């Protein structure tokens, strides 16, 4: 840079603005030096641009020459695609490298100019200490979507404190080696499939710029701002008649031994092998940790009748189509493998309250009947001071009725189906007490030998009778099944975490679960913008330079 600047100065001293020097002995026309009203127009950036982009231009010309060569005219389209993709990625890398080199040269020019003019004395860091010494030539690598490039920048230094790099803040460079674009692609591929598949996809597109362990670290960092993003995001308001539905469920994830909860780890440590080559009936491998999922969604009321939900005994007559059920709108999913059901229920209630701060909408909580879950929901509703309508999933009730049907003397399959349908329609009509009485009488008069199924059904209905008011729910148009959260369990957890041979660590499972929920909500792009802003704040403002400023 000093050489280029000296060349420009010599040209001005000779009275030439870029053309050839006059022959020796000829009279040189004189021109006064520019004043403040007539600034110097040195072609500094033009010359630098031509120099730093020279390699990229040569590569482009070589690619054009290769494509116009006669031998290339015999290639098939797939070979042409491979050539353009491979060489095009190198061309993109050279363009990015040239731009970074140009910015580095401009920074050096600015530093030298400020030093020479005495207009700058240093850079102030976040600690308030001015750095008055500057060193050029500091370099770092940056792995990007088009390959690895080198970032050169100036370091401002002072004794006893860390260096400050203004160019890092201007580029918003991450602390790690991998760029934001590469990190985002790693998140997308990891959410979609395994870490090995993500590595293969990244290598095929970007070359060997990242490893499997680095992908895991990038994903963990990307999930760090998901909770803060949703805390700052305002949901779309709805009308007072729109039903606000909440639901929570859980599903196990196979974990590494160190990531198990203490009770599960203790069970896994106990000798439990009945057989050497397989598990006995009722035995569990004790290697899973329960993840909790929560869902909040809106639903427009859709009133129905009992025979719209299930066919009456003997089947439906006529051609009347059942009334449609309520549809889930604006679903919001969340999940965690670290926190338990209590914390997830708190998060679900907080999000629901953000959707209905005036508490004018009907709140419906769909559960599967687990007593611990019901107690947590009741306590959280009391803490918020909100009246909720707890409805037990009707599909779980049907399963209890089927278990009771097989406990009776074995009828033919159509008769068992009609028996279940008759009791189910009665429950949907609000006759829970009548169904309990009928089941008790049938169990006593039939002399049931294996009463487990029907006794369990009677206990289930008796204990949860207050949450089986399906007649009110159908009349108001509320949903009565937990299919949304159960589908989320299959989609978010089973499809990704149950891959063959997968064993998860706690941090990796938590990060992937949050990012899968974020992607399912359709908020990945918004959250990524939020994440980059927070990362810039942590690294380049509160981290070590609070909006660096040149001191006069």
Note whether residue 197 is domain-resident: yes
Note whether residue 441 is domain-resident: no
Q: What is the pLDDT of residue 282?
A: 56
Rounded Cα distance between 115 and 285, Å, is: 70
Q: What is the pLDDT of residue 296?
A: 96
Note whether residue 145 is domain-resident: yes
Note whether residue 82 is domain-resident: no
Note whether residue 447 is domain-resident: no
Yes or no: say if 358 and 306 are a contact pair by the CB < 8 Å rule: no
Phi-psi region at 382: left, alpha or beta (left = phi > 0; alpha = psi -120 to 50): alpha
Rounded Cα distance between 488 and 189, Å, is: 19
Q: How far is CA 225 from CA 291, 369, 531, in A?
A: 20, 33, 6
Structural domain for 484, as ranges: 240-271+282-316+323-394+466-491
Same domain, 199 and 250: no
Q: How far is CA 494 from CA 328, 404, 513, in A?
A: 21, 30, 11
Distant-in-sequence, close-in-space partners of 332: CB < 8 Å, separation ≥ 6: 235, 295, 296, 297, 351, 521
Q: What is the pLDDT of residue 101?
A: 94
Q: What is the pLDDT of residue 280?
A: 62
Question: Looking at residue 489, what DSSP letter applies?
Answer: I
Same domain, 216 and 297: no
Low-confidence ranges of the chain (pLDDT < 50): 1-44, 543-546, 548-552
Residues in the chain: 552
pTM of the model: 0.81
Same domain, 262 and 310: yes
Rounded Cα distance between 366 and 343, Å, is: 17
Yes or no: say if 475 and 301 are a contact pair by the CB < 8 Å rule: no
Same domain, 224 and 307: no
Same domain, 311 and 343: yes
Rounded Cα distance between 337 and 193, Å, is: 19
Rounded Cα distance between 423 and 429, Å, is: 10
Take residue 131 and report the two structure tokens written for it: 């750095």
Q: What is the pLDDT of residue 113?
A: 77
- How does 25-44 read in b/e, with b if 16+ C-beta sit within 10 Å? eeeeeeeeeeeeeeeeebeb
Cα 373-375-380 angle, rounded to 5 deg:
95
Take residue 58 and report the two structure tokens written for it: 């040569």
- Burial (CB count within 10 angstroms: exposed 0-12, middle 13-18, buried 19+), residue 376: buried
Rounded Cα distance between 75 and 67, Å, is: 10
Rounded Cα distance between 472 and 493, Å, is: 33
- Burial (CB count within 10 angstroms: exposed 0-12, middle 13-18, buried 19+), residue 86: exposed
Note whether residue 518 is domain-resident: no
DSSP β-bridge partners for residue 138? 153
Q: How many CB atoms lie within 10 A of CB 479?
A: 25
Query: Helices 77-117 and 44-52 sit at what angle, rounded to 10 degrees?
Result: 150
Q: What is the pLDDT of residue 551?
A: 41
Same domain, 306 and 328: yes
Yes or no: say if 144 and 179 are a contact pair by the CB < 8 Å rule: yes
Same domain, 378 and 475: yes
Q: How many CB atoms lie within 10 A of CB 185?
A: 21
Domain count, the chain: 2
Yes or no: say if 119 and 111 are a contact pair by the CB < 8 Å rule: no
Q: What is the pLDDT of residue 285?
A: 63
Question: Looking at residue 504, what DSSP letter applies?
Answer: B
Take residue 294 and report the two structure tokens written for it: 């929560």
* Chain centroid offset of residue 430 CA: 42
Same domain, 335 and 375: yes
Yes or no: say if 514 and 332 are a contact pair by the CB < 8 Å rule: no
Question: Looking at residue 429, what DSSP letter applies?
Answer: T
Rounded Cα distance between 269 and 254, Å, is: 16
Question: Looking at residue 34, what DSSP letter applies?
Answer: P
Same domain, 225 and 130: yes
Residue with tokens 């589908």: 487
Tens-digit pLDDT profile for residues 308-354: 898 877 666 667 788 899 999 999 999 999 999 999 999 999 999 99
Take residue 12 and report the two structure tokens written for it: 């001005």
Question: Looking at residue 161, what DSSP letter applies?
Answer: S
Distant-in-sequence, close-in-space partners of 91: CB < 8 Å, separation ≥ 6: 56, 59, 60, 63
Same domain, 307 and 374: yes
Q: What is the pLDDT of residue 49?
A: 65
Note whether residue 480 is domain-resident: yes
Same domain, 252 and 225: no
Same domain, 254 and 149: no
CA atoms within 13 A on the CB side of 540: 18
Q: How many CB atoms lie within 10 A of CB 141?
A: 11
Phi-psi region at 324: left, alpha or beta (left = phi > 0; alpha = psi -120 to 50): beta
């Amino acid at each position: 840079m000093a050489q280029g600047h000296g060349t420009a100065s010599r040209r001005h001293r000779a009275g030439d603005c870029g053309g050839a020097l006059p022959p020796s002995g000829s009279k040189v026309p004189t021109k006064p030096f520019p004043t403040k009203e007539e600034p110097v127009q040195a072609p500094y950036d033009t010359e630098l641009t031509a120099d730093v982009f020279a390699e990229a231009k040569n590569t482009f010309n070589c690619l054009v020459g290769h494509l116009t060569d006669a031998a290339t005219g015999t290639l098939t389209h797939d070979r042409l695609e491979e050539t353009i993709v491979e060489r095009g990625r190198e061309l993109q890398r050279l363009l990015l490298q040239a731009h970074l080199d140009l910015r580095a040269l401009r920074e050096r020019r600015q530093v030298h100019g400020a030093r020479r003019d005495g207009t700058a004395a240093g850079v102030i860091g976040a600690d308030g200490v001015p750095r008055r010494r500057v060193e050029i030539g500091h370099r770092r690598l940056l792995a990007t979507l088009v390959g690895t490039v080198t970032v050169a920048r100036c370091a401002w230094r002072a004794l006893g404190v860390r260096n400050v790099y203004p160019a890092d803040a201007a580029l918003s460079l991450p602390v790690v080696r991998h760029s934001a674009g590469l990190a985002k692609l790693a998140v997308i591929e990891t959410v979609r499939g395994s870490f090995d598949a993500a590595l293969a996809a990244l290598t095929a597109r970007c070359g060997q710029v990242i490893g499997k362990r680095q992908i895991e670290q990038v994903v963990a960092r990307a999930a760090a701002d998901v909770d803060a993003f949703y805390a700052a995001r305002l949901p779309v308001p709805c009308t007072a008649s729109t039903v606000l539905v909440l639901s929570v469920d859980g599903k196990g994830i196979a974990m590494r031994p160190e990531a198990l909860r203490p009770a599960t780890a203790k069970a896994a440590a106990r000798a439990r092998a009945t057989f050497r080559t397989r598990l006995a009936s009722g035995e569990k491998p004790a290697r899973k940790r329960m993840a909790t999922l929560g869902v909040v969604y809106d639903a427009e009321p859709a009133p129905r009748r009992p025979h719209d939900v299930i066919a009456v005994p003997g089947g439906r007559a006529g051609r009347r189509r059942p009334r449609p059920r309520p549809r889930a709108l604006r679903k919001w999913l969340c999940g965690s493998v670290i926190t338990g059901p209590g914390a997830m229920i708190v998060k679900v209630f907080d999000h629901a309250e953000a959707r209905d701060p005036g508490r004018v909408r009907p709140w419906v909580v769909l559960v599967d009947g687990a007593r611990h879950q019901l107690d947590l929901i009741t306590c959280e509703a009391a803490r918020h001071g909100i009246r909720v309508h707890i409805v037990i999933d009707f599909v779980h009730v049907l399963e209890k009725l089927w278990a009771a049907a097989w406990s009776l003397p074995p009828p033919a399959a159509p008769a068992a189906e009609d028996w279940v349908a008759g009791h189910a329609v009665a429950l949907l009509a609000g006759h829970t007490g009548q169904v309990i009485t009928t089941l008790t009488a049938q169990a006593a008069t039939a002399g049931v030998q294996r009463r487990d199924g029907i006794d369990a059904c009677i206990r289930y209905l008796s204990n949860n009778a207050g949450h089986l008011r399906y007649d009110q729910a159908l009349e108001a148009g509320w949903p009565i099944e937990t299919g949304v959260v159960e589908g989320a369990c299959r989609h978010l957890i089973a499809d990704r975490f149950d891959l063959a041979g997968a064993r998860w660590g706690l941090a990796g499972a938590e990060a992937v679960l949050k990012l899968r929920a974020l992607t399912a909500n359709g908020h990945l792009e918004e959250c990524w913008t939020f994440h980059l802003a927070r990362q810039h704040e942590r690294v380049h403002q509160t981290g070590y330079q609070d909006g660096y400023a040149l001191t006069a």
